[in-house]
């Protein structure tokens, strides 16, 4: 779901509030955007894949253009592809991301995802490459991962070690699946933000799928989620202020303005502004851009450099889940659509979490990375909450009654989550069972067993 930004004049705080509000849409125009990332590896050796070379990431992007994708370039390098409202882009270590078009139903999303995976497999097979959906790379060391030629990533790579211990791991060794959803008004945004933020750790537990690091168990079920607890405290976390009285566009805008900058884009080049104040930028007081003030486009770019568990742009982004197999890529948008796009389900979801204390949110975020569905919150097990959450989502999808051509509703996309919640066993724990059993302690087997 792309942000539409057309105003290049210097902006005011009122412009920022209006930009958020411009995202509001009536319910009949609500859409869902699904995103997922996956690791690209060499078949046989399981090595990470560099950008250049006959069978590199550039060759993969170039090969996909036979399917009607148009290249997006930074200098001479193709760094992304666009087609019909969707895009394919690169994360810092070459993780391959599909950012889907805003679509109406889960059937549409799963068809889009399947088409993408089929297309990339055609090209990858020619190049001797495979794809793996996991939250954290199971075997690669940080130095094994190549760096993609994108200007913003060079700036981030230099800045990350200054503010956290695992920021480079976040950039180079993690993959996620996300869903982007609309809101009708500021009040609707607030209700959806609060419910989804509170329940984001429950989704983290359901999707926990990254128990390995450099070939060994980490003692965590979502190594990816744990990475985010030590990336950059200025731009991550559970945003306590979202649960405070009076929360709205203004409070979130002030939060974003206090997130240190990474860059501004000028003449197609990234200007390194890492750690600088966006407020000072608005005052024309940055030595790197003397006298210049930001445009609305600069602000929109800046919103993409905050990484809370739920992120507000002109829609809400659900950011709490590990990447996984094809079936769970469709389950994540189904889960949040069922909860957020049906009023009774949204109210029921908030009832699950409304009595949790502020300190519960951050503790739960940390606990689910270790314990998954065995964590506790508000006197209940996360498994119990997850079962309720999935049931609420199922009710919401049933109420939506969006039918496929075969007259099937969207509830089937939750089947795998229902099984996980009922069993209390996360995908990560299934991987650990394989590691300790038939894989005989070889985490690299995951490349063969779970490749797309």
Q: What CATH code is carried by the domain that includes residue 155? A: 3.30.590.20
CA distance to 23, 188, 366, per residue, from 4 (Å): 9, 21, 35
What stretches in the chain show pLDDT beneath 50?
2, 4-5
CA distance 164 to 117: 34
| Number of alpha helices (DSSP H) and beta strands (DSSP E) in the chain | 17, 17
Please, what is the Cα angle at 400 between 113 and 203, to 5 degrees? 55
Q: What are phi and psi of 44, to 5 degrees?
A: 95, -65
Secondary structure percentages of the chain, helix, strand, coil, to 5:
45, 20, 35
Q: Where are the beta strands (DSSP E) in 114-175?
A: 129-132
CA distance 164 to 342: 39
Going by C-beta distance under 8 Å and a sequence separation of 6 or more, which residues neighbour residue 40? 48, 49, 57, 60, 94, 95, 96, 124, 129, 130, 131
Indicate left, alpha or beta for 376 from its phi (over 0: left) and psi (-120 to 50: alpha). Answer: beta
Q: Characterize 303-338 residue by residue with b for buried, 16 or more Cβ atoms within 10 angstroms of its Cβ, and e for exposed.
A: bebbbbbbbbbbbbbbbbbbbbbeebbbbbbbbbbb
Q: What are phi and psi of 377, to 5 degrees?
A: -155, 135
Do 349 and 366 form a contact (C-beta atoms < 8 A)? no
Do 189 and 356 form a contact (C-beta atoms < 8 A)? no
Domain annotation covers residue 217: yes
Domain annotation covers residue 403: yes
CA distance 127 to 129: 5
CA distance 195 to 139: 35
State how beta strands 32-42 and 70-74 pair. unpaired
Q: Could you give the dihedral angle defined by the CA atoms of residues 128, 134, 136 and 140, in that order, rounded to the nearest 10 degrees?
A: -20
Question: Number of folded domains in the chain?
Answer: 1
Per-residue pLDDT at 194: 98
Domain annotation covers residue 3: no
Q: What is the extent of the structural domain holding 301?
A: 13-447
Per-residue pLDDT at 2: 46
Domain annotation covers residue 8: no
Query: pTM of the full predicted structure?
Result: 0.97
- Name beta bridge partners: 39: 132
Per-residue pLDDT at 1: 55
Domain annotation covers residue 70: yes
Domain annotation covers residue 452: no
Domain annotation covers residue 191: yes
CA distance 384 to 387: 5
The closest alpha carbon to 28, from 406, 400, 414, belongs to: 400
Do 136 and 428 form a contact (C-beta atoms < 8 A)? no
Domain annotation covers residue 7: no
CA distance 367 to 129: 35
CA distance 122 to 103: 25
The closest alpha carbon to 264, from 397, 152, 385, 145, belongs to: 152
Per-residue pLDDT at 10: 80
């Amino acid at each position: 779901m792309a942000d539409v930004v057309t105003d290049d004049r210097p902006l005011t705080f009122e412009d920022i509030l209006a930009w958020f509000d411009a995202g509001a849409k009536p319910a009949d125009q609500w859409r869902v955007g699904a995103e997922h990332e996956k690791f690209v590896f060499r078949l046989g050796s399981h090595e990470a894949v560099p950008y250049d070379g006959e069978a590199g990431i550039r060759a993969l992007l170039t090969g996909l253009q036979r399917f009607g994708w148009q290249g997006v370039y930074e200098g001479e390098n193709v760094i992304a592809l666009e087609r019909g409202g969707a895009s394919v882009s690169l994360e810092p270590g070459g993780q391959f991301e599909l950012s889907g078009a805003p679509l109406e139903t889960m059937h549409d999303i799963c068809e889009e995802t399947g088409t993408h995976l089929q297309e990339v497999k055609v090209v990858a097979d020619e190049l001797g490459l495979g794809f793996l959906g996991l939250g954290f790379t199971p075997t690669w060391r940080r130095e094994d991962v190549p760096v993609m030629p994108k200007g913003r990533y060079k700036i981030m790579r230099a800045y990350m070690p200054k503010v956290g211990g695992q920021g480079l791991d976040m950039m180079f060794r993690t993959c996620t699946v996300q869903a982007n959803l609309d809101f009708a008004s500021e009040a609707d945004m607030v209700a959806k933000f609060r419910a989804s933020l509170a329940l984001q750790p429950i989704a983290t537990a359901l999707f926990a799928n990254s128990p390995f690091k450099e070939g060994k168990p980490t003692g965590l079920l979502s190594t990816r989620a744990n990475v985010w607890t030590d990336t950059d405290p200025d731009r991550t976390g559970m945003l306590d202020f979202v649960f405070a009285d009076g929360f709205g566009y203004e409070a979130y805008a002030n939060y974003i303005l206090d997130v240190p900058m990474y860059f501004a884009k000028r003449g197609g080049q990234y200007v390194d502004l890492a750690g600088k104040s966006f407020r000072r930028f608005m005052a024309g007081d940055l030595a790197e851009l003397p006298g210049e003030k930001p445009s609305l486009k600069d602000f929109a770019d800046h919103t993409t450099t905050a990484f809370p568990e739920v992120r507000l742009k002109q829609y809400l982004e659900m950011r709490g889940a590990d990447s996984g197999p094809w079936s769970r890529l469709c389950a994540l948008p189904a889960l949040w659509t069922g909860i957020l796009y049906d009023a009774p389900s949204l109210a029921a979801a908030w009832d699950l979490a409304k009595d949790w204390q502020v300190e519960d949110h951050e503790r739960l975020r940390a606990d689910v990375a270790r314990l998954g569905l065995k964590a506790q919150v508000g006197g209940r097990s996360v498994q119990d909450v997850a079962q309720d959450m999935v049931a609420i989502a199922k009710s919401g999808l049933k109420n939506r009654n969006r039918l496929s051509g075969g007259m099937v509703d969207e509830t089937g996309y939750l089947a795998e989550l229902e099984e996980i919640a009922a069993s209390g066993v996360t995908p990560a724990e299934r991987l650990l069972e394989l590691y300790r059993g038939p894989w005989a302690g070889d985490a690299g087997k995951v490349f063969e067993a779970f490749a797309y």
